[in-house]
Every structure is written in structure tokens, then in C-alpha cells.
Amino acid sequence: MSDIRNSNPGGEDYEPQISASGTDAVGLAAGGSAAPLPTEDKSYSQGQLVARRFFRHRGAITSMIVLGLLVVVAFTSIGVGPIPGWWPKDYTLQYDKIGDGAPTWEYPFGQDTGGKDYFALVMRGTQFSLIIAFSVGIVSTIVGTVVGALAGFYRGWVESVLMRVTDVFIIIPLLAVAAVLGRMAGDSGIWGLALVLGLVTWTSLARLVRGEVLSLRERDFVLAARAVGTGAWRIITRHVLPSAVGVIIVSATLSISSAILLETSLSYLGFGVQPPDTSLGTLIHDYQAAFSTRPWLFWWPGIMILTIALCVNFIGDGLRDAFDPRQNRTKD
Amino acid sequence: MTTLDISTPGPASATGDAVLSFEGLDVTFKTEFGDVHAVKGIDLEVRPGEVVALVGESGSGKSVTSMTALGLLPRNARVGGTVRVGDKVVGALDGKALRDMRGNDVAMVFQEPMTALNPVLTIGDQLTEGLQLHGIAYGKQAMARAADLLAMVGIPEPERRLKQYPHELSGGQRQRVVIAMAIACDPKVIIADEPTTALDVTVQAEILDLLRSLKDKLNTGILLITHNMGVVADMADRVAVMLKGDLVETGTADQVLNHPRHEYTKRLLAAVPHLGAGPGQFGDVAAVTATPDDLPALDLSNLVIEYRRVGKPTFRAVDDVSLSVAQGEIVGLVGESGSGKSTIAKCALGLIPAASGSVSILGSDFRRMKGKDLKALRRRIGVVFQDPASSLNPRLPIGDVIAEPLVVHQEGDDKSRRRRVLELLDAVELPRNAYNRYPHELSGGQRQRVSIARALTLDPELLVADEPTSALDVSVQANVLKMFTALQERYKFACLFVSHDLAVIDLLAHRVVVLQNGRIVEQGPREEVLHHPREEYTQRLIAAAPVPEPLEQRRRREARHALLAQLGDEVTELHVEDDYERPYPTRDEGGNASGLGGFMADGGS
């Protein structure tokens, strides 16, 4: 949340003299019917108001906690790279099978056909899915915001070129282009795949941001900034984008959940994460035939996908309500 | 016209029981930040044929009060007390009875006719909707009746208008349509919520004439909600003044406007600029000291501004306008909406290009400048826009907003900028602790002060003010104007002051330029243009501006009607035919229009 809050402009020495404020406020009120400033010295910025509303949204907060726990468990249990985790078993090793591999105390998620520990595998898959989802969210948000802001602010030929490029990206079936590019980027591993997916999913955000910027650039405070002689870059970064941050953040959150689903579909089709590594989609793909005989092989990755996507969607919902309180004003 | 002696309490035509009454009305809103007590137990009634003006500043609860009469408050509102429309108690009605009451017994005229009408339905559809819902007329009959209604409110060619859409009508005609919709089911009382605020003065005068003849001829009670004291003086029989949810004073228009008893009413009236009183109402502006040899602060010559439109011919918004503002001089740019005054202001700021002609600021021409020179020139111009809510970046604290021009022009360091901002906060009479506040925490007037402070940050030689006080309440406007004159005396900037409010121009400007349809109609010193106008258009404009004094306003109204007659124009009024049949809704239960039996005698006169 810190990125949407206004940073304190000048550090500590910017603190104004509050001591004389009380009398000043009274003097002002006496001068007319203008209401005095709020007497308490707490000052809410727009960002703080949004945060306040967000933290009242129970669904979003629960989802935030669940997602947080999931992230912590996924990364600490089997460890990341060279750092070992607290879970004793390795996802690459095959162990002796207990019965048909159904969940036991030893193997809480069960074992796969070859005897691998399914908990470790699912955690590894969750790690990958989360990494891909968040990288895609970040990449597509940056690209979409830049494209949308430039197109909306400059209009004219800049807008024509950028929006036609956007149209081209939109008309190519997302899954097809992601599959082809993902295959090509497959060699560079998970980060290459994440980058490629980010580069094909920014289009809807670009259009949203452009629309927002189109209306913001006509607002009086932008006109006032231009009249003072403010340059285009400063207007975009300081006056226009901060006001569009609601749209951007909400859209970014939702793009994260769609990225998870996109990665799942790609891996399911065999174009995503390649063996020996695994992702939730790959796991489902590998064990789709086992659905009736060894259902846990299907359910655990399925539940993980569902949980992550639901949590992210709930958080997005909470953010949207927080940014646009008019939607549920009568709630009491 | 009905003779109406406003000095007696209650007009002669106001007879019978109240058609609308509030008894101990109390409204509380539940919000995120706790309860808001919007209306605190008020008593008020409107009798047939009477105009009661509910006056107050924004947030005083006047609109909330009126909405309770229609049962149209949002769900987070809790209403206490009794609201009676005719003999029905609004709070006791269920959904269907409420819907029956709306339109039949009480109707509403909204502030902004463009948004009050549905843009995708024809005028005919919208007019007949109410008639059909209330079972007064159907099909062709309803259309015929709708045409009658349009004719009544003075819209020419009503049959053709029925097939048109709202955007094809002018603002004044739209408001007439809204009034026609309001009277379609012959309500006992009409609630007019700021019915003329969005309209130009000449149109406002016509709409007020129409409303006045409406209550005379149909004997309808009108609850007029307004902040404009001139409108009150022109229309009201009785006046109720609201302050923060309380009624502080009620009485006849004469009592309240000429002999106010409550402190707040007195202050409110003192804050209204009075057309014809000239400068000095809120402090003096500095006299112009520049000689004709000095460079003018702003010089427009033969300026033409055009808007290119796709698929349509180019629109010429400003046509061959020449005017100049000397250093230290305030020039008032007056005109109705669409006259091109804001376009000229934006062009003077270099925000829109001129198609031809020249714009020069202190001798340097905007059109020949680029990059650094242009930026340097912009230093010397400040700007204040109309709407304080949208002219401040909601994401920046006030200190940053005011310091922004310094940062853009890379002047000074953090410390000197901070000093300058605090100095300006003092100059515009804002407390220094506003420094770290955000725009949404300030009131409208305070925000406009911030706007003015920002405009003055770089000590500009020229200030362009586009309707800087139009969005403010009168008492706030008075304070801002006072501060403005004081600042002008101190900093001696030249100013292009755009406004539609002649009274504000009258107390500020050294010279006045009157615009109509992108052309200059008249320009000259203030006394000449505003007090002895030569052009017909200026005369109409001045005659239509209401003053906040009932007797004087009546004189002015009659003078205006005489002027219109002399110019060969008709005075707007409701055209009621002798065979006008009052509609009797077939599904009306209980309450009917029988209490208004005496209307025909009135209507025929």
C-alpha cells in the first residue's frame, strides 16, 4: 500500500508550525462562514483514506492473510534455490511408496505415481505459479501504464500508433501467442516465461489507463500546471498518474489472478513450465488421468490455484471498493 | 400580472391550508465518519399560490429538506418529524402510494436541465411518461396533452419539439421542458431546487417570469431553493433562512431581506455584491497608474480562435476580438455561456492556439515563442480557475500545490520555497497548518484561496481569473473578493477577470468588455458600460440581473418588461387557455385537486 500514499514532501524539516494553528483557524472562521480546518492535527491523505477503507473490507483482509501464509509456506517449506527449507523431503527424489500413495502423516499430500513427495511438488509448483503471476502482474502493469499514459496524454499520432499496436496485440489469440513465445523463451526458464506473458497481457490496462488519462488531462489542475509551464513528463508523473493509481492498482491485482490462470492453461497444454521443473498447471496436466483413481493428485494443485486466484480477486475487490467508496455508500 | 403587495405578511393569493408542511423535520445521515445531523427539527409550510424561498449556503440542508417531501433520500438517512403533502403524511406511505404522490401531489424542478432530462428519450416520451404512469392520458391523447404543456411554458412549435431530443434544445428551453414535466400532473406544490443556477441571467429572468405566472395562474405552491438573493427578491413571498440544518429566520421577503433580525441573515445579505453600487463594497482596488506608453500586460488584436471538428465545419468560437489590459488594470470580461470568454482566457494563457491575430504578454508574442522562452513567459502569468474542487491536484498537500510553480521553474531551495508558501498562506488568510493538509480537507472557499495563492507564487504581472468566485457561496465569495482586492492593491497585478456575474465585475473591474457569440459587443470604462450601456445586448443583460432587494427588484423587473416591450419581445409567462382542463388522475386515491377549485378565476385574468 505504501506506493499509493503520498510521500512526505520534504522530510522532517518540512514540519510546519502547528503551535499557532488554533488561533489562526478561529480567526479564519470569524472572517466568514468558511468552516475552520479540522482541529485535530491528524491529516488524512487520499492514500490514507483508501487504506482505511481497505482495512475495513473483511474479505480482502482475510484473503490478504491467507495469501500471505501461502506465500510464506510455499517459499520456506522446501526452500528457494540453495537455501534449504524446513520440510525434510525433496521434490526431485523418489521415496518408497506407502500403499497407493494416498495422503498419510508421513506424506500429507500423498505421493505421486513414482513415489515423489506430493507436498514438496505442490509447494514447488506454487512457488513457480506465484513467481510467474507477480512478475507478469508487474511487467504488464508497467507496460500498460506507460503505453496508456503516453497515448492518452499526447493524443495525435502517438496515440494512433500506440493504440493500433494495442489492437494488434488484442486480436491475436492470447493463448496462441503466449504458447509460441513461451516455447521460445522456455530455455531461459521461468523468468523468460514470466516476461513473455507480461508482454502479451498489458493491453486491457493500457486501454483503461488511456481512458483515465484522457479525462484527467482536461481537468483544471492539469490545465493550471500547463499554464505555469510544467513539462509533459512532470505533468504525467506528478499530476496525472497519481490520480489514476486506483485504476492501475485494481487492474494490476486482477491481472495477477488472470496470469495464474494463463500459466496454468499453458502448462496444462504443455507449453508452459518444462520438466524437470513443475508448476501447478503442469501437475494437473501430468495427473489428469489420475482424477478418478488417485484424486489427491488432482485436488491439491487445483485447490492451490483456486485459493490463490480467489484471494487475489478478493483483494482486488477490496481495493476497488476502497478507491471508489461511492459504490457501497449505504452499507451500515 | 397579479397585484402583489409584498409588504403585507403573506400574499393575497395564498389561501387555504398548507400544501406542503414540515413539522419538526429532522434528518440524520449515517456515514463512514459517524453520523451527520443534516436537518435539525425545522417547521415550515407552503400554502397554495405561495412561493417560499429556502435560502442557505451549500451544506445547510436545504436540498435534503426538499427531498424529504418526495421521500427521495438515500438509504443511510433517518428522517424524524412529519412531512405532509396536502393531507398525506409522506413517512406513512408505502412504495406504491409514494409513487402515486410523486408527480401528482408534488413535483420537482431540478437545477441542471441537461442532466434532469434523459438524453436518449425524446421530449415527447419524457413528457408523456408521467401522464401515463398516473393514468391521466394515454397514447395520442397524452401526446396532445404534452404538446399543450409545451405550448403553456412558451415553447414554439410544440408538435415538432415533441420528437426532438434534449440536446437539440437550448438550456432555457430544456428548463421549460422540465417545468412542463413538473406541471404535467397538476401537482399542488412544486419544489424548485436551484432552478436557474445553471442558466444565463437573461434566461434566468425568463424562467423566473414563467415560474411566477405559474403560481399565479395555477395556484400552485412553490418551494424555491436557492442561494441567490436576487432570485429570492424577485420571486419569494416568504423567505426561510437555513444555517447548518436549522431555520434561523423566517418571514416575508420584505422583512427578511430589508429588515433581517438574525446575525447570519445580516451577514449573508451584506455579502451579496450589489449591481450598480460600484467598487468599494469589498475594499478598493488600486487605480491604474500605467500610462498609455507603457507596454500592456495583455494585448489581443484581431484574435480568432477556431475549433476544428471532425465531420463538421470549423466552429469559430472567438471572432476578431481586440482588447488590451494595461499594467495594474482589472478588465472584466462578461458574457453568457458560449460567448467565448473562457476560450479567450485559455488563449491568453497559451493553452489553446489562435487561428489568427496576435496574443502578446508584456510585448512578447505567444505565437512566436517556443521551449525555454515560452516557459519564461509563463512565469509572468498566473491563473485561477472556476471550480476549486477540480483545479487542485487531489493527491498533493496544499504546501506542494503552492510551491509547484517554484519547483517547475527551479527557483530557490526547499527552505526559501517553504518561506514563500507560508508567506502566501498568510496573504490569502489561510492558517499555516493548511500546509500539510490535502485539498479535500478544505472547504470550497479555502480551496479557492489556495488556487489564488498558487497563481501568485511567482509574482505574476498578469493574472487570468476564469470565473474564480462562481462556484462559491455568497459569504465565501465576499471574503474571496475582499482578499482579492487587497491582494491586487498590494501586488498591483493586471487581471483579466472572466465572469458572468455583472455585480462582481461592477465592484472589481476598471474596464469592462461585453462579449456575445465570440464577438465584442461593447467595451469601455466600468461606469459607462454597466451604468449607461449603449448596446441593446448589454442593456438586456443588465436588466436581467436581479438585485437582492424586493422593491427595487420589482422596479427593475417592470423596467425590464418595459424594455422588452420596447424591443418588441414578449414577456415570458404561462399560457393557460380558457378551456384548460385540469387533469384528474383516474387512480387517485383520497387526495384530489378539489381544494384548488378557485383556479379558473385566477387563470383567466
Compare all CA atoms of chain A with the CA of B348 and give the residue at the minimum distance: A227
pLDDT given at position B586: 52
Question: Grid coordinates standing for A39?
Answer: 482541529
- Is residue B197 within 8 A of residue B111, CB to CB? The reply is yes
Could you tell me if residue B219 is inside a domain? yes
Could you tell me if residue A13 is inside a domain? no
Residues 190-249 of chain A whose Cβ lies under 8 A from any Cβ of chain B = 219-221, 223-231, 234, 238-239, 242-243
Question: B208 or A110, which is more confident?
Answer: B208
Q: What whole-number distance in Å separates Cα of residue B552 and Cα of residue B565?
A: 20
* B547 and B398 in a common domain: yes
> Which residues are CB-neighbours of A65 under 8 A, at least 6 positions away?
none
* B337 and B237 in a common domain: no
Residue B391 has pLDDT above 70, yes or no: yes
Question: Grid coordinates standing for B27?
Answer: 434528518
Flag the least confident range among A173-187, A227-241, B217-231: A173-187
Residue A42 has pLDDT above 90, yes or no: no
Look at A32 and B479 and tell me if their CB atoms are within 8 Å.
yes
Q: What whole-number distance in Å separates Cα of residue A97 and Cα of residue A107?
A: 10
- Is residue B160 within 8 A of residue B190, CB to CB? The reply is no
What pLDDT, in 10s, does the model give residues B542-552?
A: 888 888 888 88
Question: Grid coordinates standing for B539?
Answer: 442593456
Look at A9 and B479 and tell me if their CB atoms are within 8 Å.
no
Residue A168 has pLDDT above 80, yes or no: yes
CATH number for position B410: 3.40.50.300
pLDDT confidence band for A24 (50 / 70 / 90)? very low
Is any Cβ of chain A less than 8 angstroms from the Cβ of B270?
no
Closest CA to B498 of B487, B490, B509, B507: B509
pLDDT confidence band for A65 (50 / 70 / 90)? very high
* B332 and B228 in a common domain: no
**Shortest CB distance from B430 goes to which of A28, A32, A224?**
A28
Q: What whole-number distance in Å separates Cα of residue B605 and Cα of residue B2?
A: 8
Look at A16 and B32 and tell me if their CB atoms are within 8 Å.
no
pLDDT given at position A8: 36
Q: What whole-number distance in Å separates Cα of residue A106 and Cα of residue A104?
A: 5
- State the residue for C-alpha cell 491475436: A172
Phi and psi (nearest 5°) for B288?
Answer: -75, 130
Cis peptide before B260 (omega within 30 of 0): no
* B578 and B547 in a common domain: no
pLDDT given at position B463: 92
Taking CB atoms within 8 Å and a gap of at least 24, the contacts of B65-69 are: B65/B22, B65/B25, B65/B27, B65/B39, B65/B242, B66/B108, B66/B191, B66/B193, B66/B223, B66/B225, B68/B22, B68/B25, B68/B27, B68/B39, B69/B20, B69/B22, B69/B106, B69/B189, B69/B191, B69/B223
Question: B283 or A23, which is more confident?
Answer: B283
Rounded average pLDDT over A265-283? 79
In chain A, DSSP finds a helix count (H) and a strand count (E) of: 13, 0
Is any Cβ of chain A less than 8 angstroms from the Cβ of B438?
yes
pLDDT given at position A326: 53
pLDDT confidence band for B580 (50 / 70 / 90)? low
Could you tell me if residue B81 is inside a domain? yes
Could you tell me if residue A150 is inside a domain? yes
* B441 and B583 in a common domain: no
Residue A198 sits in which domain range?
Answer: 46-328
Residue ending a domain, among B506, B521, B551, is: B551
Residue B598 has pLDDT above 50, yes or no: no
Structural domains of chain A, count: 1
Residue B594 has pLDDT above 80, yes or no: no
pLDDT given at position A63: 92
CB pairs under 8 A between A and B: 152
Could you tell me if residue B15 is inside a domain? no
Average pLDDT over all residues of chain A:
77
What pLDDT, in 10s, does the model give residues B233-287?
A: 988 999 999 988 888 999 998 888 888 898 988 888 888 888 877 777 777 777 7
- Is residue B170 within 8 A of residue B89, CB to CB? The reply is no
Closest CA to A253 of A49, A75, A67, A120: A67
What is the bridge-based pairing of β-strands B364-365 and B381-384? unpaired
Residue A125, Ramachandran bin (φ over 0: left; ψ between -120 and 50: alpha; else beta)? alpha
Could you tell me if residue A72 is inside a domain? yes
Rounded average pLDDT over A24-32? 34
Question: A292 or A59, which is more confident?
Answer: A59
* B164 and B51 in a common domain: yes
Could you tell me if residue A196 is inside a domain? yes
CA distance B443 to chain A (A): 7
pLDDT given at position B596: 37
Rounded average pLDDT over A151-168? 91
Residue B67 has pLDDT above 90, yes or no: no
Could you tell me if residue A41 is inside a domain? no
What pLDDT, in 10s, does the model give residues B13-48?
A: 444 578 888 988 888 888 777 788 888 888 998 988
Residue B593 has pLDDT above 50, yes or no: no
Phi and psi (nearest 5°) for B176?
Answer: -65, -40
- State the residue for C-alpha cell 409584498: B6
Question: Grid coordinates standing for B78?
Answer: 433517518
What pLDDT, in 10s, does the model give residues B180-218?
A: 888 888 888 999 988 888 788 888 888 888 888 888 888
Residue B380 has pLDDT above 80, yes or no: yes
- Is residue A112 within 8 A of residue A173, CB to CB? The reply is no
* B246 and B124 in a common domain: yes
- State the residue for C-alpha cell 524539516: A13
* B234 and B126 in a common domain: yes
Q: What whole-number distance in Å separates Cα of residue B57 and Cα of residue B271?
A: 12
| Whether the predicted model's global pTM rises above the 0.90 cut | no
- State the residue for C-alpha cell 506430493: A118
Could you tell me if residue A31 is inside a domain? no
CATH number for position A234: 1.10.3720.10
DSSP helix/strand/coil, B581: coil
Average pLDDT over all residues of chain B:
83
Could you tell me if residue A159 is inside a domain? yes
Q: What whole-number distance in Å separates Cα of residue A282 and Cα of residue A263?
A: 9
Compare all CA atoms of chain A with the CA of B390 and give the residue at the minimum distance: A220
**Shortest CB distance from A227 goes to which of B378, B409, B430?**
B378
Phi and psi (nearest 5°) for B541?
Answer: -60, -45
Which chain B residues are closer than 8 Å to A220 by Cβ? Answer: 385-387, 390-391
Could you tell me if residue B53 is inside a domain? yes
Rounded average pLDDT over B286-313? 82
Q: What whole-number distance in Å separates Cα of residue A200 and Cα of residue A191?
A: 15
Residue A194 has pLDDT above 70, yes or no: yes
What pLDDT, in 10s, does the model give residues B92-146?
A: 888 888 888 888 888 888 888 888 888 899 999 998 988 888 888 888 888 998 9
Rounded average pLDDT over A234-242? 89
- Is residue B151 within 8 A of residue B97, CB to CB? The reply is no
CA–chain centroid gap for A227, Å, is 36
Look at B385 and A332 and tell me if their CB atoms are within 8 Å.
no
Flag the least confident range among A14-28, A114-128, A132-146, A280-294: A14-28
Look at B57 and A33 and tell me if their CB atoms are within 8 Å.
yes
Could you tell me if residue B500 is inside a domain? yes
Residue A6 has pLDDT above 60, yes or no: no
Rounded average pLDDT over B481-487? 87
Question: A249 or A182, which is more confident?
Answer: A249
* B597 and B489 in a common domain: no
pLDDT confidence band for B495 (50 / 70 / 90)? very high
Residue A2 has pLDDT above 60, yes or no: no
Could you tell me if residue B281 is inside a domain? no
pLDDT confidence band for B406 (50 / 70 / 90)? very high
* B259 and B114 in a common domain: yes
Cβ count near A55 (within 10 Å): 14
Structure letter (DSSP) for residue B306: E
Question: Grid coordinates standing for A73?
Answer: 509456506
Look at B434 and A37 and tell me if their CB atoms are within 8 Å.
yes
Residue B343 sits in which domain range?
Answer: 325-351+369-551
Report the sign of the C-alpha dihedral through residues A319, A321, A322, A323, in that order: positive
Closest CA to B399 of B383, B378, B420, B382: B420
Closest CA to B192 of B202, B200, B182, B184: B182
Look at B476 and A44 and tell me if their CB atoms are within 8 Å.
no
Q: What whole-number distance in Å separates Cα of residue B325 and Cα of residue B305?
A: 19
Residues 66-95 of chain B whose Cβ lies under 8 A from any Cβ of chain A = 74-76
Look at B74 and A17 and tell me if their CB atoms are within 8 Å.
no
Work out the percent of chain B whose per-residue pLDDT is above 70: 93
The type of residue at B423 is: E
What pLDDT, in 10s, does the model give residues B152-168?
A: 888 888 888 899 888 88
Question: B84 or A47, which is more confident?
Answer: B84
Could you tell me if residue A16 is inside a domain? no
Look at A220 and B390 and tell me if their CB atoms are within 8 Å.
yes
DSSP string of A172-185? S-HHHHHHHHHHHH
Structural domains of chain B, count: 2
pLDDT given at position A64: 92
Could you tell me if residue B205 is inside a domain? yes
Phi and psi (nearest 5°) for A74?
Answer: -60, -40
DSSP helix/strand/coil, B330: strand
Work out the percent of chain A whose per-residue pLDDT is above 70: 82
Q: What is the CA radius of gyration of chain B?
A: 26
**What b/e string do you get for B210-242 counting C-beta neighbours within 10 Å, with b at 16 or more?**
bbbbbbbbbbbbbbbbbbbbbbbbbbbbbbbbb
Is any Cβ of chain A less than 8 angstroms from the Cβ of B369?
no
Which chain B residues are closer than 8 Å to A21 by Cβ? Answer: 431-433
The ipTM of this complex is: 0.74
- Measure Cα distances from B557 to A142, A155, A185, B154, B205 in Å: 62, 50, 80, 19, 9
> Which residues are CB-neighbours of B514 under 8 A, at least 6 positions away?
B334, B335, B520, B521, B522, B523, B529, B535, B537, B538, B541
pLDDT given at position A14: 33
* B535 and B405 in a common domain: yes
Could you tell me if residue B287 is inside a domain? no
* B454 and B514 in a common domain: yes
Q: What whole-number distance in Å separates Cα of residue B490 and Cα of residue B484?
A: 10
Tell me which range, A189-198, A203-212, B473-482, is most confidently predicted by mean pLDDT: A203-212
